[in-house]
Amino acid sequence: MSTLADRIRGIIRAPGSAGRPDDPPHQIGPDAPGANGPGLPFPETGSGLDDVRAVLGGDWLRQYGAPCFVVETRRTPASSYGRDVVGALASRLADAAAAAPLVARMPATLPFVFFDLETTGLGGAAGTYAFLVGCGWFDDDGGFVTRQYLLVRLADERALLAAVGGELARAGALVSFNGKSFDMPMLETRYLYHRLESAAAGRPHLDMLHVARRFWRGATDLPAAASNCSLSALERDPLGTGRQGDVPGSEIPARYFHFVRTGDARPLRVVFEHNRLDLLSLAALTARALHLVRMGPEQVAEPREALALGWLYARAGDDALGRRAYQRAIDLSSEEGRWAAPSSALVRVEALRSLALMLRRGRAHDQAAGCWRQILNTRGCPGQIAREANAALAIHHEHRVRDLAAAKDFALRSLEHGTRQGWHDAVRHRVARLERKMSRFQRGALLD
């Protein structure tokens, strides 16, 4: 006869039970790969609150009126980052700051505060916490300062949010990597939870993920662009740096839970380091991207960067600059020595397509048709874009040029690339209409 406690244990461990623990918590820790702590076994120590300061190198501070545990570090201007030094990143960013509004799409000024969260899970549900809020900025001397707020006890969250609110409120612009989709909604949820005003709401926010993807990972509309655009991939290229012994993101929540349960902060050291590196790389990435924007289309040397600029201008509604950037991307990708490279062909096609769409929006139909034709003449053009070009040319010839035979020809050619039934039906419909029009026209001609 089992006791109540045993029965409840059985229920908790049963297959299909909610939140069944799969991994015992002691599997993570200094022994786990990537940890930089001493290779000690993991004693289940009791209260480790005093250790937190020593282990993580932080202190309890009253920040913006709220008691918080904060780890503050500074990288000197002379410390190296990739091929650069931190001080050079600082001055490049300061020089290029005027380009920020184009990215934020609202007034955005210095100081920039870079921010990044570490959380206990994905998605902003009530039981997911932002346990580490990292903020970073360049100080007046060109050093990079990070201030990391740790949620030592889950019950202290309100104080942490108050302090973080103060930190973010002094920013001329917030800068994040995927923050618009993840970090900011996550924070907003926590503020709502505590029914606090969110200090970050409505502030200028540069989310560098999409910008970086455009600049350095190709255009997302192309199938080839299903490429890795993580911060660590960007560190290798274009930032030319990298990290060793980084903690896998999937391990981070378990490390924090271990700390919550035991007070042992050692597994968190790598998490803090990971967060600091993310902030610095984000700053470097932002400096580089804004620098390119600041230089303008005629100064960039890489076709993909010109294409990305075009996208940025178009997104900000500046079609004139956008056209120049797209044209620059087309010219650069058509240069001797680049023309043959498949990646250049993709950039060229994408730039032509973007330009064609922009011209059509501006009612410059003949120029747009020219772009579509160039797309069809580019070897290695992806099928779906060739289909789009043929369809656009069919419409153009039917309604503007009124060359029905050519329209029919383009419509039929668009079938070569489409496989979906709905597409086939639409094209057949168009061809049938064209044929009706053509026979009517012929009859009309005979009557004349």
Partner 1 sequence: MVAGSRRDGALDEALERLAPGQVSERPDTPDLHVTALRRLPPVPAQYAPFPDGLDARLRRALAARGISQLYTHQARSIEHALAGRNVVVITPTASGKTLCYNAPILNAILRDRSSRALYLFPTKALAQDQLAELQAMCETVAAADPDDKIGVFTYDGDTPQDARRAIRTRAHLVLSNPDMLHSGILPHHPRWAKLFENLRYVVIDELHAYRGVFGSHLCNLLRRLRRVCRHYGSDPVFLCSSATIANPRDLAERLTESPFELVDESGAPRGEKFFMFVNPPVVNHQLGIRRSYLGETRRIASEFLQRRLQLIVFAQSRLATEILTTYLKDDFAGAPGAPEGIRGYRGGYLPNRRREIEKGLRDGAVRAVVSTNALELGIDIGALDVCVMAGYPGTIAATWQRAGRAGRRASRSAAVMVASSAPLDQFIVRNPSYFFDASPERALIDPDNLHILVDHIKCAAFELPFSTSETFGRHDLQQILELLAEQGLVHRNHPAADLDDAPAPGLWTWTNESYPADAVSLRSVSSDNFVVVDTTRETRVIGETAFTSGPPTLHPKAIYIVEGQLYQVERLDFDGRKAFVREIDCDYYTTAISYTRVTILDTFAEKGSGVISSARSVSPDVAEMAEMTPDPFSADESWSSHGEVHVVSRVVGFKKIKFYTNENVGSGDLDLPEQQMHTTAFWVTIPASTMARLPYASDDRRDAVLGIAYAIRQMAQLLLMCDGHDIGISVDTGETVAPSDRRLPELAADKSPRIFIYDNYPGGIGFSEPLFRMDHELLTGTRRLIAECACESGCPGCVGPMGYTGAMAKEAALRILDLVLGAVSAAAELEAPPF
Q: In the stretch 23-42, what mask flags binding to partner 1 with x, by CB under 8 A?
A: -xx-----------------
Determine whether 5 is exposed, middle or buried from the number of CB atoms within 10 Å of its CB (0-12, 13-18, 19+): exposed
Closer residue to partner 1, CB minimum distance, 25 or 297? 25
C-alpha closest to that of 188 among 176, 175, 201: 201
- Look-up of token digits 């960007």: 234
**Strand pairing report for 173-176 and 144-150:** unpaired
- Residue 271 as a binder of partner 1 (CB under 8 A): the answer is no
- Residue 16 as a binder of partner 1 (CB under 8 A): the answer is yes
- Residue 195 as a binder of partner 1 (CB under 8 A): the answer is yes
- Residue 402 as a binder of partner 1 (CB under 8 A): the answer is no
Element containing residue 15 per DSSP (H, E): none
Smallest distance, partner 1 to C-beta of residue 24, A: 8
- Residue 3 as a binder of partner 1 (CB under 8 A): the answer is no
- Residue 20 as a binder of partner 1 (CB under 8 A): the answer is yes
- Residue 18 as a binder of partner 1 (CB under 8 A): the answer is yes
Q: Choose which of 11, 320, 445, 447 interacts with partner 1 (CB under 8 A).
A: 11
- Residue 132 as a binder of partner 1 (CB under 8 A): the answer is no
- Residue 447 as a binder of partner 1 (CB under 8 A): the answer is no
DSSP state of 429: H
Closer residue to partner 1, CB minimum distance, 56 or 389? 56
**Residues 108 and 204: beta-carbon distance below 8 Å:** yes
- Residue 152 as a binder of partner 1 (CB under 8 A): the answer is yes
Q: Choose which of 253, 303, 310, 322 interacts with partner 1 (CB under 8 A).
A: 253
- Helix, strand, coil in percent for the chain, rounding step 5: 55, 10, 35
Give just the sign of the alpha carbon dihedral 271, 274, 280, 285.
Answer: negative
Give the amino acid at 225: A
Q: Choose which of 29, 37, 87, 263 interacts with partner 1 (CB under 8 A).
A: 263
| Buried b or exposed e, range 302-335, using 16+ CB within 10 angstroms | bbbbbbbbbbbbbeeeebebbbbbbbbbbebbbe
- Residue 181 as a binder of partner 1 (CB under 8 A): the answer is no
- Residue 12 as a binder of partner 1 (CB under 8 A): the answer is yes
DSSP state of 247: P
Smallest distance, partner 1 to C-beta of residue 152, A: 7
Q: Choose which of 34, 57, 107, 121 interacts with partner 1 (CB under 8 A).
A: 121
Beta bridge partners of 66: 63
Smallest distance, partner 1 to C-beta of residue 149, A: 14
- Residue 202 as a binder of partner 1 (CB under 8 A): the answer is no
Give the interface segment with partner 1, choosing from 28-36, 77-85, 259-267, 281-289 (CB under 8 A): 259-267
How many residues in the shown chain lie near partner 1 by CB under 8 A? 49
**Residues 274 and 244: beta-carbon distance below 8 Å:** no
Q: Choose which of 39, 41, 125, 446 interacts with partner 1 (CB under 8 A).
A: 125
- Residue 70 as a binder of partner 1 (CB under 8 A): the answer is no
Give the interface segment with partner 1, choosing from 33-41, 151-159, 270-278, 424-432 (CB under 8 A): 151-159
Please give the biggest Cα pair distance in the chain.
Answer: 103
Q: What DSSP string describes 341-381?
A: -HHHHHHHHHHHHHHHHHHHHTT-HHHHHHHHHHHHHSTT-
Closer residue to partner 1, CB minimum distance, 25 or 382? 25
- Residue 72 as a binder of partner 1 (CB under 8 A): the answer is no
Task: Give the 3-state secondary structure of residue 92.
Answer: helix
Closer residue to partner 1, CB minimum distance, 39 or 46? 46
- Residue 78 as a binder of partner 1 (CB under 8 A): the answer is no
- Residue 400 as a binder of partner 1 (CB under 8 A): the answer is no
Q: Choose which of 73, 109, 189, 220 interacts with partner 1 (CB under 8 A).
A: 189
Please confirm whether the linkage preceding 33 is cis (ω < 30° from 0).
no
Closer residue to partner 1, CB minimum distance, 1 or 445? 1
**Residues 207 and 176: beta-carbon distance below 8 Å:** yes
Smallest distance, partner 1 to C-beta of residue 94, A: 36
Q: Choose which of 54, 154, 301, 432 interacts with partner 1 (CB under 8 A).
A: 154
Q: How many residues does the chain have?
A: 448
C-alpha closest to that of 237 among 305, 339, 146: 305
Determine whether 116 is exposed, middle or buried from the number of CB atoms within 10 Å of its CB (0-12, 13-18, 19+): buried
Using CB under 8 A, list all residues that contact partner 1: 1, 4-5, 7-9, 11-21, 24-25, 47, 49, 60, 62, 67, 69, 120-121, 123-127, 152-156, 159, 189-190, 192-193, 195, 253-254, 257, 260-261, 263
